[in-house]
Structure 1
Amino acid sequence: MRAMELPPSLAEWFASRHWSLHPHQHEMLDRADEPALLLIAPTGGGKTLAGFLPTLADISANGHEGLHTLYVSPLKALANDIRRNLRIPIDEAGLPIRVEDRTGDTSQTARKRQRADPPHILLTTPESLALMMSYPDADRTFKGLKRVIVDEIHALAENKRGDQLMLALSRLQTLAPGLRRVGLSATVDDPAAIAHYLARHPDPCPILHADPGPPPDIDILRTDEIPPWAGAGGRYAIPTILSEVKAHKTTLIFHNTRAQAELFFHALWLANEDDLPIGIHHGALAREQRHRVEQAMAAGDLRAIVATSSLDLGIDWGDVDLVIQVGAPKKVKQLVQRIGRANHRYNAPSKARLVPANRFEVIECRAALEAVREGQLDGDLRRDGPRDVLCQHIALVACAGPFRDADLFAEIKTVGVYADLSRAAFDECLDFVATGGYALRAYDRYQRLKEREPGLWSLRDPRAARQIRMNLGTIIDTDTLKVRFRGRGGQPLGEIEEGFAATLTPGETFLMGGQVVRYEGLNQMTVEVSPRPDKEPRIATYIGYKQTFSIQLAERIQQILNDPGRWDALPWHTREWLALQRENSLLPEPGRLLVESFPRDGRHHLCLYGFAGRNAHQTLGLLVTKGMEEAGLDPMGLVATDYAVLIWGLQPVRDVRPFLSHDGVHDALESWLAGNAVMKRTFRAAAVISGLIDRNFPGKRTTGRQATFSSDILYDTLHRYDPDHLMLKITEEEAMRGHIDFGRVDLLLKTVGDRIDQIALDRVSPLSAPLFLEPGRVPIAGKGENRLIEEEAARLMEEAGLGALPA
């Protein structure tokens, strides 16, 4: 006997289409009463429908008043797509079920109606769910809730939006004790960890694996041109990519950053002599422009779409039959997700081709392909729940009404990432939300909560709820300005970063949505432009989505480097490059650190092959140069890639070990962070999420400069008068795993220990040569720079006939 059966009308609808349920869809009906259940099914395997089948069966058989099922996804577009697809079987089978979505695009009128008269199924995002739960009528809205479906749960588990969602689910579980949780994903590196994340701690969560289907058809795209030594654009491969586009119905061309996508799309458009219909899609484009591209994709009107992570997740785009990944994928899990966009059908192999953007990425792409074929996904290090998100959650709970701190603490402890939270740490967050902390409690604006009786808390002023709601969310926008064509009713194009806009002068051109536009001026915080397709553009500096590659992928790359038997799978030019490196130096090994030193152009260079990612290498380089400066070795600068960091200076480093000791690097980090701009940037982000700094006010939004000015003052004040303040602790925690990625540096040093291979060369090594072509060089201002200035001054004075300057 099944726990639930399909409604007869829905069973007839399946039969009319000659469809039958997949085994995992049957099992979802059988196990509908599980408190929590994780379904891992391939893209195109009907996992979303599987998640909804128990809901459709239950409402059809038993009826339901009010909200029955919440569907939560990371993307608004995904919610829109699910609603459109879910309505087809509901309407055609005549099921008495209302489905609506509730996202940032939903009108205010619809939001109020949904709270008073919710549909049976509501499709939403973590932010919109948190907002709904912050109203005093939340208990009435959610009291009859039976199921929550979390789609693409792997994507949420990696960031603060997921932490926000899990805190919301802990609250929902109190309002609706019988709530069932379902997690859906196609790419899970550690199923047990995701199951633990989804379940109500410490309850276990069963895992249901669907048939993975046939292996994908994946390979590195063979091109006539050899990849360049450096760079990330992949534009050398455009002729071959255009040939692939012509040979397929619809091709998705993924890039890792928005800037790369813009540059590539512009170059692709110029090379598109056959006028194939192509589009571009990324998160900085205007919503109207993204929707036009999405509609054209769904209708099959585009032959190619250049995209970023905005199209990673499970939207069904119909006739996509080829995925091309330009640039190394950085994470195997993301590559699998993107491969799944092609042939979005059950038991049909996906087809994908990788285009390494430079010579080093050839090896990374090969490592990623091996991992996909072996079914070995990668994942990030587990982390504890961030406390800035917890502070925001406490404030939102207070908006809904009075709460007891013991009850709220018990709720929060059921969230896996907060399971180890101590009562003292919780009380510190509660005190911060209530008073702002020791240094700020004298200011009325930070007095938000009041203890009405021992253990019972509420908002000090109920009117504060509006301001708290206006500033919820964990996504920290870069400081951006809207871009639109000049003129009344000018078409919106998207957003660019405020810092980039500040460098523009009238007449300059840049890329936006694949178009070359001319900057005309700034009008009430909107960048006005005009089209100038005849001009050579600058590129808008999108921060966008920049990720480092995974630890597992880094290990695979080093394994390939050290196993010449695996070089046969590499192209001839890469094999020759590695053979030359082995002949002239060493090859980096897992568990060891290769350090090369050599002279070039009158400077002494040091190259450390850490394979820890760009952010970690830049941090490591800054810490090593700090030690060099203190030792009088006059460092001058550094440049970092995902694979290595190159440092140059005026003095040779005979032994790098003293600068790489674990304790020494930790000490250097603390003194370096104290005065570093990274800390102020990190403080601002944490202060915004925790509610210390407001982004939005009724009728206006704080500009980036205003928020930065305010956060800098707060940071300096707390640093001076309250160095143990919670926000400073959170800032250091976030900096360690954010911009500077010190967790990877720490792991590298612990793994390597004293296994450091420093080799002195008389010239640049083959493996280090590409680093000299990398952009993003960081100068080191110190004694070395002063010495060069003094030497240059002496030369000039001598040249002028004045002899040496007096001391």
Structure 2
Amino acid sequence: MTLLPQALTEWFQAQGWALHPHQLQMLDRAGEASTLLIAPTGGGKTLAGFLPTLAELGAAPAKGLHTLYISPLKALTSDIRRNLGRPVEGAGLAIRIEDRTGDTGYTQRRRQRADPPHILLTTPESLALLLTYEDAPRIFAGLQRVIVDEIHALAESKRGDQLMLQLARLQAMNPGLRRVGLSATVEDPGALAAWLGAGTGVLMADPGPEPDISMLEAGDPPWAGGGAAYAIPAVLEEVKRHRTTLIFHNTRAQAEIFFRNLWMANDTDLPIGIHHGSLSREQRERVEAAMAAGALRAVVCTGSLDLGIDWGDVDLVIQVGAPKNVKRLVQRIGRANHRYNAPSKALLVPANRMEVVECKAALEAVKARDLDGEPRGRGPRDVLCQHILATACAGGFDAGALYAEVASVGAYADLTRAEFDACLDFVATGGYALRAYDRWQRLMLRGGLWTLRDPRAAAVIRQNLGTIIEVETLKVSLKGRGAPLGEIEESFAATLTPGDTFLIGGEVVRFHGLREMTVEVTRDPGRPPKVAVFNGTKFATSTQLSDRILRMFQEPLDLPHHTSDWLNLQREVSQLPRPDRLLMESFPHDGREHLCVYGFAGRNAQQTLGLLLTKEMEALSLAPLGFVATDYATLIWGLEPVRGFALDRARLREGVETWLAGNAVMKRTFRNVAIVAGLIERSHQGRRKSGRQATFSSDILYDTLRRFDPGHLLLEITREEAMRGLVDFGRIEALLDRVGDRVDFRRLDRVSPLAAPLMLEPGKVPIHGQARERLAEDAAREMLRAAGLG
């Protein structure tokens, strides 16, 4: 067993700390090539990951970089530096610990390259940048260990794919490099271990006590909507009863609305804050500092507080709205009682009746430790293109050696040499339709090695590294004072006229105008606000959670009376959806004919289903007028009754591909792919391009490639991304696999109880087709008849 330095052991004892079993086991495994540690939040997993490093550096101080720590969050690196620095300084160990993120100053970054610390804390983006320098082999020459924290969060995104390609580069430089992955919430430990690297061993810590989690009894929820305003008094009472409460929301806009409603009801002036990614960094840091000091009783927040920062005084977590994903819920629950073997306490607040069912399903899943996760699929080729370009910045490379390196990464294990060469050809020349343009002639073969055609291009390539595609936003500042409040989406800002009000940071502000790409406002608490369309993620209910809901429908309903009565009425009038069959209902209402399809496939897939089915109905002269979709169902209305419908996989796929070919979704997806792959620059010579400039460039390129090179690599990638992303056709195919041709079609004489809430949903999509023409003709005839001309 690797032993800790005596000074460090004595310091732990002086603090009254004893190492947990999994922390001691990490010392036992110090020499293993790759280890995935799964430990509950508050279990000291980050310290466990560092203990072998502290032992090795304490026994034999190294010169240069020994351990690289990678986190998905910049804020987490500085938090870890403080927490790790405490025992190192307390024990008097001669170990330098520094962080390097986008916030690190130029002078410090240069010094770190010349004289790296023993332990460097960084992010995937900063690591990507470091690896593009020609002196990267010298910087990483002595690297012994890489620690990837919150690995489950990285494994679900392109950032994770980029990171794994970077680790393959580091492994090539240091064949004996050891990998450590740290996570609290994992649905498939074996799959995550394989993602970290071949031969990774899994260490499961004691999961600790069951969380104390329940649904908040707060009266009757509404039939539709996501604000949960009905629960404000009950939530406020819970805040009063606890020391510190985190109140999570799924979107930033909902967090703003809830915070305002909570503040208006806060008759005892409890200190309450708000925290989300669209607020200014200064405001977020103020809230974090106040939380750390114990000065706040509650924080209304989003995913910005899902990970990392340890606040031991949080004794309650409230999730407002259905959690959509059990793994994310467990992560959020773990923010309460952030101590080893202390049960976390959490309450779920459903926003409407259907969310009562989902919250019940989530409670059962947490109790069964049944976490969810979607398969990631093959490694994305746009990320690979960027990686090839970045590799060229560091010097010449051999194509065969780089292919072998890439193929060693799990996500790219089945990448063929022909696919790799297609990516290399695109990076080198731009592809068939673009190779005549000098700006895309970026690589050349010289002496058997691929190098940059113009070494000066490296600076621009470095400015454009990264896989995070940011929604274009504008800064919001107080007029005349320049004090930043946060950001709003450019598209929302375009709808504002002087005098309009909106919410940001829990405040109502009045819009005055746009000055030098900044939205100028003044505080205006007396006006009813609009709500900014913040670019927070709108989560779809996971497949596993949807399946659990469908199974619940087949059992006696153990739900609050307001929801069980509603669902029992649905059983009497029609039936409840089943896991192995597709329920469709058809009925008249308010002078229109309706069709409701209960696919339980997630919002994006149900939206796509609405587009495809209305096109089918248009072809059958059923005159659809519009539709609305939720995570559970799609409701279509029109002029003709539907008395039967079959879903044909081949026709649906053909329909979605035809629809995508000329749709704005493809152009938006192409823009994102082109940015990641390096075809379109986000920044040039230090100046950031505006969203409109980037979109204009990508639209021209998309139209050019469709016309002259329809088989272009980026168009292939775009089709794959579109089918997997906003369209989510994979969930539709999974639905068809689940139900086959088993359809329960119910023709009713009135709206069913289960369909009724969909009538109240926002986001209705109109269909412009035969039905609109018929209505216009009917209106014209009626006008002529009224005039005595009919």
TM tier, smaller? over 0.9
In structure 2, the residue matched to 1:502 is 494
The amino acid that maps onto 1:711 is: S
Deviations 1:232-266 (A, max 9, x none): 11111110101010111100000000010011111
Paired residue for 1:557, among 549, 571, 575? 549
Equivalent position SS for 2:168: helix
Partner of residue 457, structure 1: 450
Report how far residue 382 of structure 1 moved: 3.3
Q: Which runs of 5+ in 2 are unaligned?
A: none
8 Å CA contact 1:157–1:194 kept in 2: the answer is yes
State whether residues 59 and 97 of structure 1, in contact with CA within 8 Å, keep that contact through their aligned partners in structure 2. Answer: yes
Report the counterpart of residue 348 of structure 1 in structure 2: 342
Do structure 1's residue 322 and structure 2's residue 319 form an aligned pair? no
Q: Can you list the C-alpha shifts for 1:298-317, whole angstroms capped at 9, x where unaligned?
A: 11110000000000012101
Q: What are the superposed Cα offsets for residues 489-508 of structure 1, whole Å, 9 maximum, x if unpaired?
A: x2111111000001111111
Deviation, 1:613, is 0.6
Deviates more, 1:187-196 or 1:741-750: 741-750
> Is 2:649 the counterpart of 1:655?
no
Amino acid at match of 1:446: W
SS of residue in 2 equivalent to 1:401: coil
- Indicate if the aligned counterparts of 2:587 and 2:594 stay in contact, CA closer than 8 A: yes
Aligned partners of 1:476 and 1:685 also within 8 Å: yes
Q: 2:373 aligns with which of 379, 382, 386?
A: 379
Deviation of 1:538 (Å): 0.3
What is the one-letter code of the residue matched to 1:617?
Q
Measure the CA separation in 2 of the matches of 1:645 and 1:175: 53
Match of 1:68 in 2: 66
Letter in 2 for 1:631: L
Q: Does 1:793 align with 2:780?
A: yes
The residue aligned with 1:128 is 126
Shift of 1:699: 4.0
Letter in 2 for 1:650: L
- Tell me the CA shift for residue 787 of structure 1: 1.3
Map of 1:295 onto structure 2: 289
* Counterpart Cα distance in 1 of 2:784 and 2:665: 40
After superposition, residues 146-295 of structure 1 pair within 5 angstroms as: 146-199=144-197, 203-223=198-218, 225-295=219-289
For residues 689-734 of structure 1, the C-alpha deviation after alignment (integer angstroms, 9 at most, x for no partner) is: 1111111122421111111111111111111111000110010010
* Distance (whole Å) between structure 2 residues aligned to residue 472 and residue 800 of structure 1: 67
The SS at the match of 2:181 is strand
Q: Deviations for 1:203-222, whole angstroms, at most 9, x for unmatched residues?
A: 32110000111100000011
- Per-residue CA deviations over 1:477-521 (Å, capped at 9, x if unaligned) read 101111111114x21111110000011111111011111111111
Q: What is the RMSD computed on CA atoms of the aligned residues?
A: 0.9
| Alignment check: 8 A CA contact 1:153 1:185 kept | yes
Q: Are residue 361 (structure 1) and residue 346 (structure 2) matched?
A: no
Give, as a single letter, the amino acid of the residue that structure 2 aligns with 1:560: M
The AA in structure 2 aligned to 1:522 is L
Secondary structure in structure 2 of the residue aligned to 1:403 = coil
Distance apart, 1:176 and its partner CA: 1.5
The equivalent of 1:109 in structure 2 is: 107
Match of 1:82 in 2: 80
- 2:137 is matched with 139
Asked whether the equivalents of residues 28 and 53 of structure 1 are also in contact (C-alpha less than 8 Å), the reply is: yes
1:118 matched residue in structure 2: 116
Deviations 1:539-579 (A, max 9, x none): 00012121111111001101111111xx23x1011110011
Query: What is the one-letter code of the residue matched to 1:124?
Result: T
Is the 1:662–1:750 contact (alpha carbons within 8 Å) kept by the matching residues of 2?
A: no
1:761 maps to amino acid = L
- Counterpart in the other structure of 1:392: 386
1:398, 1:800 → 2: CA distance? 76
* SS of aligned partner of 2:13: helix
Secondary structure (helix, strand or coil) at the match of 1:563 reads coil
Matched, 1:574 2:563: yes
Please state how far the C-alpha of 1:381 moved relative to its aligned partner: 2.0
Report if the CA contact (8 A) 1:517-1:532 is conserved: yes
Which residue among 457, 460, 479 is the counterpart of 1:467? Answer: 460
Distance 1:111 1:69 in 2: 17
Q: Name the SS for the 2:644 alignment partner.
A: coil
Equivalent residue for 2:10? 12
Answer whether contact 2:61 2:95 (CA < 8 A) is retained. Answer: no
Aligned residue for 1:123, secondary structure, equals strand
Provide the rounded CA distance (Å) in 2 between the counterparts of 1:89 and 1:802.
92
Deviation at 1:353, TM superposition (A): 0.2
AA partner of residue 276 (structure 1): L
| Structure 2: distance between partners of 1:382 and 1:756 | 30
Is 2:539 the partner of 1:547?
yes
Instruction: Name stretches of at least 5 consecutive residues in structure 1 with no aligned partner.
Output: none
SS state at 2:465 partner: coil
Within the candidate set 744, 750, 762, 2:731 is matched to 744
| Equivalent residue runs for 1:628-667 within 5 Å | 628-657=617-646, 660-667=647-654
Q: Distance in 2 between matches of 1:765 and 1:781?
A: 26
2:741 is aligned to 754
Q: Structure 2: how far apart are the matches of 1:215 and 1:281?
A: 28
State the identity %: 68
CA distance in 2, matches of 1:604, 1:435: 55
Whether the 8 Å CA contact 1:593–1:756 is kept in 2: the answer is yes
Deviates more, 1:789-798 or 1:426-435: 789-798
Cα distance in 2, alignment partners of residues 601 and 588 from structure 1: 25
Contact map agreement 1:300 1:318 (CA 8 A) in 2: no
TM-score, scaled to structure 2: 0.99
Find runs of 4+ consecutive structure 1 residues off by over 3 angstroms: none
TM-score calculated relative to the size of structure 1 = 0.97
2:711 is aligned with 1:711: no
Output the CA distance in 2 between the equivalents of 1:30 and 1:635. Answer: 66
**What SS class does the counterpart of residue 267 from structure 2 fall into?**
coil
SS at match of 2:754: coil
Distance in 2, Cα, partners of 1:689 & 1:473: 7
Kept after mapping to 1: 8 A contact 2:608/2:727: yes
Q: Distance in 2 between matches of 1:793 and 1:132?
A: 69
Shift of 1:19: 1.5
Tell me, in whole angstroms, the C-alpha distance in 2 between the residues paired with 1:785 and 1:674. 24
Separation in structure 1 between the aligned mates of residue 183 and residue 239 of structure 2, nearest angstrom:
29
Is residue 146–residue 180 contact of structure 1 (8 Å, CA) maintained in 2? Answer: yes
Give the distance between the partners of 1:112 and 1:752, measured in 2 at CA. 59
CA distance in 2, matches of 1:301, 1:594: 52
Once the two structures are TM-superposed, the CA of residue 142 in structure 1 deviates from its matched residue by 0.6
Letter in 2 for 1:505: T
Whether contact under 8 Å (2:312, 2:339) holds in the other structure is no
Query: In the alignment, what sits opposite 2:470?
Result: 477
Q: Could you tell which deviates more after superposition, 514-523 or 698-707?
A: 698-707
User: 2:95, 2:118 within 8 Å by CA — same for their partners in 1?
Assistant: yes
- Shift of the alpha carbon at 1:679? 0.6
CA distance in 2, matches of 1:461, 1:90: 45
Within the alignment, does 1:593 sit opposite 2:596 as a pair? no
Question: Which residue is equivalent to 1:531?
Answer: 523
Q: 2: CA distance between counterparts of 1:782 and 1:423?
A: 47
Q: What amino acid does structure 2 have at the position aligned with 1:362?
A: V
Q: Is the 8 A contact 2:579 2:738 kept in 1?
A: no
